Structure 1
Amino acid sequence: MYKCFVVIVSFLILPAGLLFSQANYSIENVPEELKQNAGSVVRFDQKIFTVKSPSHAELEVKYAITILHESHKNKAYFQQTYDKFSKINSINITIYDKNGNKIKAVKKTDIEDMSSFSESALFADIRQIVYSPDYFKYPYTLEYAFTKSYKGLLSYPSFYVLDGYDMALQEGVFIVNIPTGNKLRYLLQNTDIEPDVYNVKNEIHYRWNFENIKAIKYEKYDLRFSDLVPTVKTAPANFEMDGYFGNAESWENFGSWIYSLNNGRDVLSEATRNEIIELTKDAQGPKEKIDLVYEYMQSKTRYVNVVVGIGGWQPFTATEVEENGYGDCKALTNYTYALLKTVGVESYYVIIKAGSSASEIKKELPSNQFNHAILCVPNGKDTIWLECTSQRAPTGYMGTFTEGREALLIKEKGSKLVKTPSLTIDDNLRIRKAVVSIDDQGNATAEIENRYQGLYYDNMRNVYYYEGKRRMDQVRRKIHINNFSLDDKQYTLLEYRSDHPYFTENYFVKADHYVKKMGRRLLFDINFFGTEVDVPSAINKQESDIYIHRSLSRIDSLEFIIPEGYYVKSHPGNDTLVTDYGAFYTHFKMDGNKLCYTRKQLINKGTFPADEYAEFRAYLKKINLADKRKVLVMPTEVD
């Protein structure tokens, strides 16, 4: 698997450093193929990570990027974070013009050291060092170098060959040095480049080299960027954080370390114990107990972020939460665990990689890949999952933030990966109904009733909790009816809380000149709500597989009331399109002076071969065109 050579130490480290110090950053030295689809080109990216012990390491970074266009100006923004367990040293930043001539060495006083304290963070010791260039003559190159020392090692760095879309790489070097007798655990993604491995004195050196990597252009239905970019992920075998020693060679071992952080922190005060026992004494079964405990937790606490020292991984004690009335995801999950334990309900602390578009964890590389904690409550044949940071979510509701992904269930012994329930095509349901009245002047009024479940419920939650003008501004942004006006006083949005919660929305709109007048003839779009199916660009050769992130159901029912003295001369025909990517159905029916139109679109989650791109695009184009079809209405005395 490894290529082993005996070399002089200076050969391993110096050439990359010398290349950096003597580099000619003229734009003429960038190969033309790297400029294609690129807003910036990384000229050189070198990371050397040297492990000294399970708790100490040093990272040396040397990096240069040429900004080709203003659209990529933020790619030259320098930002590095540090905390109690790390320190940044010896920062040097230099700017060069398009010919590679040095413009200036950035002064230390121009580099800011500031808190990373966010609005949700009550306690945080994370700081950041930042620099934003004040040079805007494109193209130009920004070069920087720094070292970072660690005194706590839960994670090792990854090397992403490309940092984002529309970025190319000219040369990249990733080196990891570990003490002899230790093990480097690594995982290759989207590359088969194995490291060269060198034994030097008391260290083993792993080195990866990458050259002339072209930019990846964003396409709407591509795989996630993290599933496209060549990446080397590394992880420790043994590690230590703030005196807590652990091993990450298996998920069970890593889970045991998390358990050690939580152990003994679930003790509640006697008063709280008595209160929760009294609250649940008449509960009819475990489910009602869980409901009561969850609602109690929501009423007693609020979420704050805590990122201080080991507190970034270890929860507050349950007593601290009850005394303060707040906690982060870890603390609130641990507190809820303690409440349930008090009333005899078994539950398990779970760590998860949260985010509506978060990439999947890499099961092959047990390590710290998580950013959130939730609670798993077995309940007979069912399992209830509790999001403990929400004061508003119904019991057991898992939205797009945590649904359908691997998570680590924590036990003293036997921690294991589990998968949270996925939102299905039936869960992610949006139903829209409209009664549209058309007059002979081409104006329309509509009474609209919508229902939102699953993903759509998630999207509407912020709207629901906004008030006044802020709410109505959000409502208007999501309406895509031409020339509409909305009566705020007639707008309602109601929440129905259950195992499958949903919102209902009702409003009244006017749409002046919605109908195109041609003499006395009237012509209007059949899709009153407007199309939401974008057709991706035509591509000669699709590089990535096609990726549809979620399954969705969209059902529209429209009833057009035709003005008196008019009739429908022509309307589109019915549609039936069924593919692996989804399905599309439409149906028309005349009922007196009413034209009834039903539209149903089903979207199937999945990954599909790149060579089906033309077929996939053609399917979306058919839907897009169907949404733009017209209805012709004529006066009865004219034909």
Structure 2
Amino acid sequence: SRGEHLTARRLWELAGKSPAVERQATIEMAQLFAEKELRLLAYPMLKEAQAKAPQVRALAQAAADRAEQLGLKEEAFARNEALYAADRGDLRLLRWFSGYFDERHDAEQALLWRERLLKLAPASAADIAAKARFLEGLGRIAEARAALEAALIVSPENTYLIERLADLEHVHGDTPRAIELWRRSLAIRPQNPDLMRYLEFLSPEAEGFEKAYAEDALALVAAYPPTPEAGETAEALLDLTVWKVFANGLSSQFQQTVLRVYTDSGVKAQRRVAIRYAPGVEEVRLLKARILRPDGTVLENYVEDEQDLSQGYSIYYDARAKVIDFPQLQPGDAMEVQYRIDDIGASNLYADYFGALRLVQGYLPIRKRRLAVALPKTRTLYYNAPRLIPSPAITEKGEDVEYDWRAENVPKVKSEPAMPPLIEVADYLHVSTFKDWQAMGEWYWNLVKDQFIAKESLKRTIRELVKGAADDAERIRRVYEWVVLNTRYVGLEFGIHSYKPYQVNDVFERKFGDCKDKATLMIVMLKEAGVRADLAIVRTSNIGAMEPSPPSLAMFNHAIAYLPDYDLWLDGTAEFSGVFELPYQDRRGQAMLVSDAGVRFTTVPTSAPAANVYRQRATIALGDGVDARLENVVEVRGTRASQFRSHFQDPKERKERLEKLINADHPGATLEKFAFEPLDDLSRAVRFEFASTLPAYIRQDNSNFAARATVDHVDLGKQFAALSKREHPVEIDKLQTLESTATFELGKKWTLVDPPEPLTLREDFADFAMTVAQEGDRLVVATVLTFKQNRIPLERYDAFRRFCEDVTRAYNQEIRLARAD
């Protein structure tokens, strides 16, 4: 590789210099050879160098290490023995000799060397455990036990030593004592799934916390006989979620779901269960997965798979799903799934913070819904008030306090087109150990503040980047475009980095990162350029707004930058968006602004329709027959511009993609020519033009002729107002203006019989205008449609539906024509 080539070249240049430098070069060259599986070359090189300089300890030690790598154990022993004779305080050698004799099953010598080590160095847990193992091997069980117990007096919460003592007791017949010790270890470090399972094997009565909550699925099936409502495909008999929070801040989640399916479509929709988790910090443990047939038959036949979820737009990326599939599920069957998700690690990466968010409702009716949180009495839990279960039952259970929310016959949420995000129409539970935004913001800033410290190399790049900029606007544009164009969006959010950005210098040097990393880099660069910027942790609008209390990290899924002096929001992941083209998902998002100045919870403002414009100027020339020629000039500004830059980024694919776009409105159209203005300048609007032949554009009905009066195929009724009645508001994600001017050139072969009717509509939620003008043998039809509200409330739906129907009819009008001859 390039790095190895440079290393070898540097070592070659060092050779022949001073003896000390040359010796170091020899050691490094030997290391390089060893790494490249060239150990046979490395060892002779070191032997020769050591023979020339026998007094140099580093060469002798390197030669001994290489001898061991080659399996020359006795030669390695002799070399290390000579090294030890020269320095009897070398702790590394004492540990080596102990291991050497351990491999040869000489417990007495292994113990002797380990005890020499322990006399010279502070006792480590590994050394104490090794000493105890050697004593055990010599049959000195009481001494082994005493060594471990003495170490535990000094380090009573060292789970490694506790478990080694438990192993000793178990092997030598005192299983009750071993179980007591293993339980003690679990109390300190609950997230040790292997030990949990082993304890359950040894002591079935010591089952997990979930056993106190799990319900009998067979009894549920009997208690709730099938009573499907008309059109119902499935229902949940039980949806149970329990979180257990331990004293060290780690937590476990237990889930039990029992569903009954009624139809083939219900089977198709419900047969696969995806259990989402974060590998490395969580472990999934499947407890039950079975089908319960109406005749009482129980089938434990399922297929288990893993799915990578680390794709998409997210603040955290270390996500996978364990997928459980029931291929034998049939209409009328019930299915049960039980699983646990356990935090793994010695402690909570986020200190003692705990937060969780879970829907109370979904798209299926639920007979029994239960959510519970058990946490130590020393902790306070804050929570919202779900509409269906406003208050939990609170009970003290030993050292814990349990919060228990229960409901029966929870209605389903009706799915509708263009509805708001589910969390805005469904009931949900949100819990957190943070009392207010100030507490959470201060905690989060202390977690991330050191990531914003820039090295001189980064500062130098920033100074060069903004050199000569006339004002802050130009500095902001340069920094923003540098970040979005020079750093790739790659999610590396594992463990603590699910919510903590990597150090800004690492992001700068490797030129990639996730949303937090890019936001951090942009903030540091802007501040170095003299522009204040804060970190904004965001809940994007496409997943829905929540009540602002309680505060927790469970709310958020994105991170961007905020410039308070200019009220400007910048998304470092929006690689095809300009400075003022914030993605629509960020707009209306909820945000926690954090900096050294404090914390603030706010909402990202929406953008005005005038800032988001799709404009086209089309000329349709009618020919002698029924075909027409379309020439169109398109300009896109604002939020939608990024979609066009991304879609047409590759010049090799532009023709094919543009032709597909035209054919969506004009089937059979052929693209004759096209041209795009440069798409890599994010400060410019997207502009392109094209010419196309439109076959059979003029429709003939006997002796009558007609052609579409617009080049747009718009059906607002189908898109937003297909239902006569709704249960939810209408969601319009983008406020924008659509402008279209179509100039029809009738030529000498056609005359106008009947033009389309003009129309003007003005509502609080939208405006529409269609104007029609005849200029000689030309007919100009212009339309302007402006959406002014993101959400249409239910009380305005009838008016909105009429508006959509009227606008759709206007767009679909025809021009009545006759042949001039």
Alignment of 1:135-534 (within 5 A): 135=328, 137-150=330-343, 152=348, 154-164=353-363, 167-191=364-388, 193-235=390-432, 237=433, 248-298=434-484, 300-354=486-540, 357-368=542-553, 369-379=555-565, 382-469=566-653, 472-473=656-657, 476-477=660-661, 479-487=663-671, 489-492=673-676, 494-495=678-679, 497=681, 501-534=684-717
Structure-2 separation of matches of 1:25 and 1:458:
55
2:210–2:254 contact (8 Å) kept in structure 1? no
Query: What's the CA shift for 1:149?
Result: 2.3
Q: Does 1:47 align with 2:204?
A: no
- The 3 A distance-change label for structure 1 pair 466 and 53 is farther
How is 1:83-162 mapped onto 2 (pairs within 5 angstroms)?
83-97=279-293, 99=294, 101-106=296-301, 110-113=303-306, 116-118=309-311, 126-135=319-328, 137-150=330-343, 152=348, 154-162=353-361
How many Å separate the matches in 2 of 1:281 and 1:612? 53
In the superposition, relative to structure 1, how do residues 510 and 217 fare at CA in structure 2: closer, same or farther (>3 Å)? farther
* Greater helix fraction, Structure 1 or Structure 2: 2
Please give the alpha-carbon distance, in whole angstroms, between the structure 2 residues aligned to 1:253 and 1:95.
46
- Equivalent of residue 32 in structure 1, options 223, 228, 245: 228
Deviation at 1:498?
A: 6.3
| Amino-acid identity (%) | 16
Kindly indicate which of the two structures has a greater share of residues assigned to strand: 1
Task: Choose between structure 1 and 2 for higher RCO, CA contacts under 8 A separated by at least 6 residues.
Answer: 1
Return the offset for 1:478.
6.2
- In the alignment, what sits opposite 1:242? none
**Amino acid paired to 1:367:** S
Kindly provide the CA deviation profile for residues 536-560 of structure 1, in whole angstroms up to 9, marking residues without a partner as x.
Answer: 6675653223443332211111111
Q: Number of paired residues?
A: 602
Distance 2:304 2:492 in 1: 26
Q: 1:204 to 1:129 in 2, by over 3 A?
A: same
Which SS does the other structure have where 1:53 is aligned? Answer: coil
Are the structure 2 counterparts of residues 161 and 421 from structure 1 closer, same or farther at C-alpha, using a change threshold of 3 Å?
closer
1: CA distance, partners of 2:589 / 2:318 = 30
Task: Give the secondary structure class of the aligned counterpart of 1:445.
Answer: strand
Between the aligned partners of 2:253 and 2:574, the Cα distance in structure 1 is: 38
Tell me the distance in 2 between the aligned counterparts of 1:15 and 1:250.
Answer: 32
How far 1:42 sits from its partner (Å)? 1.5
Q: 1:345 to 1:119 in 2, by over 3 A?
A: closer
Output the CA distance in 2 between the equivalents of 1:568 and 1:182: 79
Q: Which residue type is aligned with residue 632 of structure 2?
A: I
Residues in 2 aligned to 1:191 and 1:404: alpha-carbon distance in whole angstroms? 27
Larger radius of gyration between Structure 1 and Structure 2? 2
8 Å CA contact 2:581–2:638 kept in 1: the answer is no
Deviation (angstroms), 1:119: 9.2
1:628 matched to 2:812? The reply is yes
Moved more, 532-541 or 581-590: 532-541
Aligned equivalents of 1:221, 1:526: Cα separation in 2? 28
State the 1:573 CA deviation.
1.9
Moved more, 391-400 or 170-179: 391-400
Which residue does 1:79 correspond to in 2?
Answer: 274
1:17 is matched with 214
The 1:558/1:470 distance shift into structure 2, 3 A limit, reads: closer
CA gap of 1:63–1:515, structure 2 versus 1, over 3 A, is same
Aligned 8 A contact 1:534 1:620 in 2: yes
- One-letter code of the match for 2:551? P
Off by >6 Å, runs of 4+ in structure 1: 12-16
CA distance in 1, matches of 2:577, 2:284: 41
Question: Secondary structure of 2:691's partner?
Answer: strand
Q: 1:626 to 1:485 in 2, by over 3 A?
A: same
Mark the CA change 1:459 to 1:114 in structure 2 (over 3 Å): closer, same or farther: closer
Is the alpha carbon distance of 1:254 and 1:37 closer, same or farther for their aligned partners in structure 2, counting shifts above 3 Å?
farther
**Matches of 1:142 and 1:475 in 2, distance apart?**
48
User: What's the CA shift string for 1:197-220, capped at 9, x where partnerless?
Assistant: 333443332222222233333222
2:258 corresponds to which of 49, 64, 77: 64
Query: In the alignment, is the contact (CA less than 8 A) between 2:356 and 2:430 conserved in 1?
Result: yes
1:336 maps to a residue whose letter is M
User: What is the distance in 2 between the residues matched to 1:537 and 1:274?
Assistant: 56
- Alpha carbons 1:37, 1:217 under 8 Å: kept: no
Q: How much does 1:606 deviate?
A: 4.2
CA apart distance, 1:585: 1.4
Deviates more, 1:596-605 or 1:612-621: 612-621
1:476 Cα deviation after fit: 1.2
Q: Aligned to 2:664, what secondary structure does the other structure show? A: coil
Whole-angstrom CA distance in 1 between matches of 2:603 and 2:440? 17
Whole-angstrom distance in 1 between the partners of 2:493 and 2:465: 33
The TM-score with structure 1 as length reference comes to 0.85
Aligned equivalent of 1:7: none
Question: What amino acid maps onto 2:237 in structure 1?
Answer: R
Aligned residues of 1:571 and 1:631 also touching (Cα < 8 A): yes
- Bigger drift between 388-397 and 181-190 goes to 388-397
Distance apart, 1:299 and its partner CA: 5.3
Are the counterparts in 2 of residues 254 and 366 from structure 1 also a CA contact under 8 Å?
yes
Structure 1 residues 293 and 601: CA distance shift in structure 2, 3 A? closer
User: Is contact 2:648–2:657 with CA below 8 Å preserved after alignment?
Assistant: no
**Counterpart Cα distance in 2 of 1:142 and 1:40:** 11
Contact 2:389 2:405 in 1 (8 A): no
Out of 131-140 and 224-233, give the one that drifted further.
131-140
SS in structure 2 of the partner of residue 323 of structure 1: helix
Work out the CA distance in 1 between the residues paired with 2:354 and 2:611. 36
TM-aligned CA distance change 1:160 to 1:287, over 3 Å? same
